[in-house]
DNA sequence: GAGAATGCACTACACCGTGTAGTGTAGTCT
DNA sequence: AGACTACACTACACGGTGTAGTGCATTCTC
């Protein structure tokens, strides 16, 4: 077995530290410009340990990618049920959608996670081979689509293609905000809310029953 | 004057060749992963000449950035007048918008120019200091805003904030297409047109008079 | 049960190979 | 004569590996 590589199970603490460090650096500085030395230093761990836990830099990127994707999906799901569960009053629809969108947008913009995540998917240095990745990336949109379908069933929206509606909603709120204010501070920026509100209104004009 | 650098005026031909080569490489491979040697080789020019024309790699990037921005703006303006000039028949609005959007989207997706342009603005290795850049990046949206305002004046649209409407239109058509199909082949891909059509329809539901 | 031995995660550090930005220069082409 | 090339060269950063050594817990031994 020449290519047999034994990765240590190790204290989950160090592993988490390395992962957090890599996540922070990769997402802010970019993958190429983040050296493994820097990741190790930030995690207060020797470079050798990084290589013992994760085999190489690509694998480390992959681990970060998975983690970010999972946490993003979890946030979306939680916020979805927090703000849009069991809505029946049409008058509450707009404020609820604004609330949902604001929470997601501020969450995402602050750490620039979604942005760089997408950047990884499209441009990643060295293509990502795992087919799981696309699925993971699309999962948040799927979840939103299901929620929109539920709102349609409740008679609040008219949504022939829920998944497409989800894409449109994201584009009108998060997408516009991101492209206007390039991933800089979100909840503090007073320009965010009006953009979101207008995005939600446009969405409702297009999709309200 | 210690930092005085003398850049050659030189035959515009070589300069253009270098610029084209850099543009191609930077946009497809990414800035970091494109070596100056590769740029020089592709332009069939010695590396020394590259450094004689442009001072360093950053400056070369900046020149590419400007050129792409200008050409993008020109394309948008031309397509705008080609497809949306002097529209009066409401029935022609949807097909005209689809046509406009298809042409822009296929143009942009094929060479991935817009994508990577945006990527440069936000993440560029070494922040771009020039204030011109943001303005240049926003110019296409401004142009579209003006056209939408004209369509509103003609009674075809209801557009209180033309610039915002432009952002919404881009998000619904180009933005959605880009995020679904990651910048891969455009006019050949049969999934593009339906996405654009649905984006335009959603836009019209939200903005039609 | 005290102390030695063992195993293991981890560090510190040197090292290799390679890729790349940028320069200096001698020579060639027009 | 000046634009341009070919090329050698510097300086450096980075990915990855090998290894000597350290701290520490568990286990073995008497």
- Is residue B24 pLDDT above 60, yes or no? yes
Which of B93, B180, B103 has the alpha carbon at shortest distance from A175?
B180
**Contact of A180 with B175, CB cutoff 8 Å:** no
Same domain, yes or no, for A50 and A96?
A: no
| Mean pLDDT, range B112-125, rounded to an integer | 60
Q: Do B122 and A172 touch (CB under 8 A)?
A: no
Out of B125, B202, B207, whose CB is closest to A168? B202
Query: Could you read off the pLDDT of B141-197 as tens digits, one per residue?
Result: 999 999 999 999 999 999 999 999 999 999 999 999 988 886 666 566 899 999 999
User: With 90 as the cut, is the pLDDT of residue B6 above it?
Assistant: no
Q: What's the CA–C1' distance between B35 and C22, in Å? A: 12
- Is there a domain that residue B108 lies in? yes
Whichever domain contains B85, its CATH number is 1.10.357.10
Query: Is there a single domain that holds both residue B30 and residue B125?
Result: no
Report the number of distinct structural domains present in chain B.
2
Asked if residue A11 is part of any domain, the answer here is yes
B24 domain residue, yes or no? yes
Residue A21: count of CB within 10 angstroms of its CB = 22
Q: What does the block give as tokens for A44? A: 């207060």
Judged on CB neighbours under 10 Å (0-12, 13-18, 19+), B127 is exposed
Closest by Cβ to B175, choosing from A119, A122, A171? A171
Going by C-beta distance under 8 Å and a sequence separation of 6 or more, which residues neighbour residue B68? B23, B27, B113, B117
Q: Which of A123, A180, A206 sits opposite B167 (nearest CB)?
A: A180
Of A103, A80, A15, the C-alpha closest to A51 is: A15
User: B45 and B80 share a domain?
Assistant: no
The dihedrals phi and psi of A157, each to the nearest 5 degrees, come to -130, 165
Q: Do A37 and A135 sit in the same domain of this protein?
A: no
- Asked if the structure places residue A60 within a domain, the reply is no
Same-domain status, B41 and B77? no
Q: Which of B12-26, B85-99, B142-156, B180-194 has the lowest mean pLDDT?
A: B180-194
Residues B176 and B143 in one domain: yes
Confidence of residue B86 (pLDDT cuts 50, 70, 90): confident
Residues A161, A79 share a domain: yes
Distance, CA of A10 to C1' of D25, in Å: 14
Contacts of A29-38 with C-beta under 8 Å, sequence gap 24+, read A30/A116, A30/B32, A30/B123, A30/B125, A31/A61, A31/A120, A31/A124, A31/A125, A32/A125, A32/B30, A32/B32, A32/B33, A33/B32, A33/B125, A36/A60
Same domain, B45 and B141: no
Give the model's confidence band at B12: pLDDT under 50 very low, under 70 low, under 90 confident, else very high: confident
- In the prediction, which pLDDT does B114 show? 66
Cβ of B125 less than 7 A from strand D: no
Judge whether residue B130 has pLDDT over 90.
no
From the CA of A21 to the C1' of C5: give the distance in Å: 37
* 3-class secondary structure, A8: coil
B28 has a chain A CB within 8 A of its CB:
no
Window 120-159 of A, Cβ < 8 Å to B: 121-123, 125
Task: Give how far B168 is from chain A: nearest CA, Å.
Answer: 6
pLDDT at B8 over 60: no
Strand D: which residues 27-66 of B lie within 7 A (CB)?
44-49, 52
Q: Are residues B73 and B48 in the same domain?
A: no
If pLDDT is split at 50, 70 and 90, which confidence band does B5 have?
Answer: very low
Query: Alpha carbon of A165 to those of A95, A139, A144, B50, B156: distances in Å?
Result: 18, 14, 9, 48, 24
pLDDT digit of tens for each residue in chain A (209 aa)?
Answer: 322 233 444 577 899 999 999 999 988 888 888 999 999 999 999 999 999 999 999 999 999 988 988 999 999 999 999 999 989 999 999 999 999 999 999 888 777 666 666 666 545 544 555 555 667 788 999 999 999 999 999 999 999 999 999 999 999 999 999 888 866 665 668 999 999 999 999 999 999 99
Q: What is the pLDDT of residue A6?
A: 39
- More confident: A84 or B124: A84
Residue of chain B minimizing CA distance to A209: B205
- Give A208: exposed, middle or buried? Use CB within 10 Å, 0-12, 13-18, 19+: middle
Contact A171 B167 (CB under 8 A): no
Whether residue B127 is predicted with pLDDT greater than 80 in this model: the reply is no
The answer to whether the CB of B172 falls within 8 A of the CB of B202 is yes
Find the residue in A nearest to B117 (Cα): A179
Containing structural domain, residue A140? 65-207
Q: Give a yes or no: residue A2 inside a domain.
A: no
Residue whose C-alpha is closest to residue A73's, from A144, A175, A177: A144
Give the 3-state secondary structure of A152-183.
Answer: HHCCCECCCCHHHHHHHHHHHHHHHHHHHCCC
Residue at A172 is within a domain: yes
CATH number of the domain bearing residue B31: 1.10.10.60
Q: Note every long-range contact of B116-122, with CB atoms under 8 Å and residues 24 or more positions apart, other chains counting.
A: B116/A123, B116/B26, B116/B27, B116/B30, B117/B65, B117/B68, B117/B69, B117/B72, B118/A179, B119/A119, B119/A123, B120/B31, B120/B61, B120/B65, B121/A182, B122/A115, B122/A182, B122/A183
CB-contacted nucleotides of strand C (7 Å) = 8-14, 19-25
- A138 vs A164: CA distance, rounded Å: 12
Residue B1 domain-assigned? no
- Interface check A69 vs B, CB under 8 A: no
Question: Average pLDDT, stretch B113-132?
Answer: 57
Residue B91 DSSP class: G
What residues have CB less than 8 Å from A12, skipping those under 6 apart? none
Q: Cα separation of B125 and B48, whole Å?
A: 23
Q: Which of A32, A55, A78 is the last residue of a domain?
A: A55
**Of residues 10 to 69 in chain A, which lie within 7 A of strand C by their beta carbon?**
10-11, 13-14, 44-49, 52-53
Selection from A138, A169, A144, A142 nearest residue A84 by Cα: A144
Q: Are residues A51 and A70 in the same domain?
A: no
Backbone angles phi, psi at B157, to 5 degrees: -125, 165
For residues A170 and A198, state if they share a domain.
Answer: yes
| B98-to-A115, A172, A205, B54, B95 alpha-carbon distances in Å | 27, 18, 20, 41, 5
Geometric angle at alpha carbon A200, from B137 and B147, rounded to 5°: 45
CB B77 within 8 A of CB B139: no
A166 plus A201 within the same structural domain: yes
B200 inside domain: yes
- Cα nearest neighbour of A179 on chain B: B118
């Amino acid at each position: 077995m020449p290519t047999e590589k034994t990765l240590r199970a190790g204290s989950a603490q160090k592993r988490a530290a390395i992962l957090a460090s890599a996540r922070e650096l990769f997402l802010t500085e970019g993958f190429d410009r983040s050296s493994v030395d820097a990741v190790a230093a930030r995690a207060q761990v020797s470079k050798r340990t990084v290589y013992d836990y994760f085999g190489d830099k690509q694998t480390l990127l992959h681990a970060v990618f998975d983690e970010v994707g999972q946490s993003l999906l979890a946030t979306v799901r939680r916020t979805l049920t927090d703000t849009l569960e069991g809505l029946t009053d049409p008058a509450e629809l707009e404020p609820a959608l604004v609330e949902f969108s604001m929470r997601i947008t501020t969450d995402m913009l602050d750490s620039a996670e979604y942005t760089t995540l997408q950047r990884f998917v499209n441009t990643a240095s060295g293509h990502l081979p795992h087919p799981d990745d696309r699925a993971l990336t699309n999962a948040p949109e799927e979840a939103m689509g299901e929620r929109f379908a539920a709102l349609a069933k409740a008679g609040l929206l008219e949504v022939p293609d829920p998944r497409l509606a989800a894409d449109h909603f994201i584009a009108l709120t998060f997408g516009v905000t991101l492209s206007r204010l390039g991933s800089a501070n979100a909840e503090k920026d007073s320009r965010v809310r009006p953009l979101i509100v207008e995005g939600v209104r446009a969405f409702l004009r297009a999709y309200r029953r």
